[in-house]
């Protein structure tokens, strides 16, 4: 005799519905947080308008306490710290002006330092996913092979300067420098920044005059923060992208950042338009270390190890030119904050 299905389709949907309701009630903060991270537009407005009152209601009844308590306990048991960039609130950039003049004088007095194994050049690498596999991995590997250099890397996916309401790089940079001091900062971010954001009491559409002005100010302020904290900043621009529309947006971003970098003596903007492209156009294959190799991942955005290595070679050459080193010896001395295996 053929056994009948234990659960009808109706029961399956009922069970799924119950699970969804339980999640919405006891985990509403996660849904609300997700809605807030969406790019500004109609979809975000709809989801925020749905999940905000739900979260306010369930929070007022303390229904979210079990979920938040579990997450806190889990983090505590496994020693997982929340990144400072997720702290919320506005960063006070006005304090940077009073520090910059003193920092400039101090950096000038330190220009004659000769770095060595005993006194390594300390380098911090920060950015979005572009500082992850590919460039970030190859850069920290190359720096780690030089005993006169100490390198640490911190990168966070889906972040940038557009949405400090989601992740604030100013606060994260402060936290990283509170843990240790660095002579050099290498920055690569921007792939998530071609979106509208809320500032000055209104939403600014990507590419509008007000958007360009505000984003430019943020980039400038971030450079100011990094030059206060370090001696030199290398800001790596976006490479040519495969998709024409995205490529245009990334070129707009890079131009804004390059313009701001020109105002700072100790910020070097590195354009990748001709490092990973030909006349600024996307090139999937280029010669690297004697043979033709794939430069980009399948998404047409991120780097392969070969593509990342080509960029890393360029940055490393700049560092070796800008700073004085005693005879180089080869030994690994790197600390990767988010270690990733080579692909």
**67 in any annotated domain:** yes
The residues, any chain, with a CB within 8 Å of residue 211's CB and separated by 6 or more, are 196, 197, 204, 205
pLDDT for 24: 77
Mean pLDDT of 314-321: 98
Q: What is the pLDDT of residue 47?
A: 74
Position 62 scores a pLDDT of 74
C-alpha to C-alpha distance for 254 and 188, rounded to whole angstroms: 11
Residues 262 and 158 in one domain: yes
Question: For position 273, which CATH number holds?
Answer: 3.40.50.1110
Position 331 scores a pLDDT of: 42
User: Does residue 341 sit within a domain?
Assistant: no
Please compute the mean of the pLDDT values over residues 10-27 and round it to a whole number: 79
Identify the domain boundary among 31, 51, 77.
Answer: 77
pLDDT of residue 100: 63
Quick one: pLDDT at residue 79? 61
Residue 203 pLDDT grade (very low, low, confident, very high; cuts 50, 70, 90): very high
Q: In this structure, are 63 and 111 located in the same domain?
A: no
User: Could you give the CA distance from residue 42 to residue 39 in angstroms, rounded to a whole number?
Assistant: 9
When pLDDT is averaged across residues 198-206 and rounded to a whole number, the result is 93
> Pick from 25, 59, 77: which residue ends a domain?
77
Q: Give tens-digit pLDDT for 255-270.
A: 999 999 999 999 999 9
| Residues 59 and 196 grouped into a single domain | no
pLDDT at residue number 86: 73
Tally of structural domains, the chain: 2
**Residue span of the structural domain in which 252 resides:** 84-336
Give the lowest-confidence range in 33-37, 91-95, 291-295.
33-37
Would you place residue 50 in the very low, low, confident or very high pLDDT band (cuts 50, 70, 90)?
confident
pTM for this prediction = 0.81
Give Cβ neighbours of residue 340 (< 8 Å, ≥ 6 apart): 132, 133, 136, 137
pLDDT at position 330, please? 45
β-bridge mates for residue 171, sequence order: none
Other Cβ atoms less than 10 A from the Cβ of 40: the count is: 17
Residue 206 lies in a domain: yes
User: What is the overall mean pLDDT for the chain?
Assistant: 86
List all residues 6 or more positions away from 94 whose beta carbon is below 8 Å from its beta carbon.
none
What does the alpha-carbon distance between residue 191 and residue 195 come to, in Å, rounded to a whole number? Answer: 10
Q: Is the pLDDT of residue 228 over 70?
A: yes
| pLDDT-based confidence at residue 243 (cuts at 50, 70, 90) | very high
More confident call, 186 vs 47: 186
Cα Rg of the chain (Å, integer): 23
Does a structural domain hold residue 342? Answer: no
Is the pLDDT at 329 greater than 60, yes or no? no
Rounded Cα distance, 19 and 6, in Å: 19
3-state secondary structure (DSSP) of residue 79: coil
Kindly list the distances between the CA atom of residue 111 and the CA atoms of 104, 191, 279, 302, in Å, as whole numbers in the listed order: 11, 33, 35, 35
Q: Are residues 253 and 125 in the same domain?
A: yes
Q: Which of 77, 96, 126 is the last residue of a domain?
A: 77
Phi–psi pair at 264, nearest 5 degrees: -120, 125
Residue 2 located in a structural domain: no
pLDDT at 104: 62
pLDDT per residue over 93-144, tens digit each?
Answer: 777 776 666 566 656 656 679 999 999 999 999 999 999 999 999 999 999 9
Gap between the Cα atoms of 35 and 40, Å rounded: 10
Indicate whether 50 and 145 sit together in one domain: no
- CA angle 286–289–293, rounded 5-degree value: 35
Distance CA 283, CA 310 (A): 13
- Do 65 and 162 belong to one domain? no
- CB neighbours (10 Å) of residue 192? 20
For residue 340, is pLDDT > 60?
A: no
11 or 126, greater pLDDT:
126
Paired residues of 198 in beta bridges: 203
Q: Helix or strand or coil: residue 203?
A: strand
């Amino acid at each position: 005799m053929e056994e009948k299905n234990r659960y009808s389709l109706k029961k399956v949907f009922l069970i799924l519905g119950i699970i969804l309701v339980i999640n919405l009630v006891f985990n509403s903060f996660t849904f609300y947080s997700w809605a807030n991270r969406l790019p500004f537009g109609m979809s975000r407005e709809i989801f925020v308008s749905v999940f905000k009152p739900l979260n306010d209601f369930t929070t007022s009844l303390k229904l979210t306490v079990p979920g938040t308590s579990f997450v806190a306990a889990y983090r505590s048991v496994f020693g997982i710290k929340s990144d400072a960039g997720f702290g919320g609130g506005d960063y006070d950039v006005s304090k940077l002006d009073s520090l910059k003049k003193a920092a400039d004088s101090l950096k000038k007095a330190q220009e004659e330092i000769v770095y060595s194994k005993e006194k390594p050049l300390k380098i911090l690498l920060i950015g979005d996913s572009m500082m992850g596999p590919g460039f970030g991995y190859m850069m920290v590997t190359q720096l780690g092979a030089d005993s006169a250099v100490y390198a640490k890397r911190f990168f966070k996916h889906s972040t940038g300067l557009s949405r400090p309401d989601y992740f604030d790089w100013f606060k994260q940079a402060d936290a990283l420098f509170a843990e240790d001091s660095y002579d050099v900062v290498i920055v690569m971010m921007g792939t998530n920044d071609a979106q509208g954001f809320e500032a000055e009491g209104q939403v600014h559409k990507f590419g509008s005059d007000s958007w360009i002005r505000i984003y430019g100010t943020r980039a400038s302020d971030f450079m100011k923060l990094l030059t206060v904290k370090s001696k030199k900043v290398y800001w790596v621009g976006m490479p040519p992208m495969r998709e024409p529309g995205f490529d245009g947006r990334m070129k707009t971003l890079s131009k804004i950042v390059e313009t701001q970098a020109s105002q700072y003596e100790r910020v070097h903007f590195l354009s990748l338009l001709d490092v990973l492209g030909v006349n600024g156009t996307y090139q999937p294959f280029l010669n690297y270390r004697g043979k033709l190799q794939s430069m980009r991942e399948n998404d047409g955005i991120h780097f392969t190890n070969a593509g990342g290595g080509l960029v890393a070679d360029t940055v490393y050459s700049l560092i070796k030119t800008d700073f004085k080193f005693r005879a180089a010896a080869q030994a690994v001395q790197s600390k990767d904050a988010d270690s990733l295996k080579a692909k």
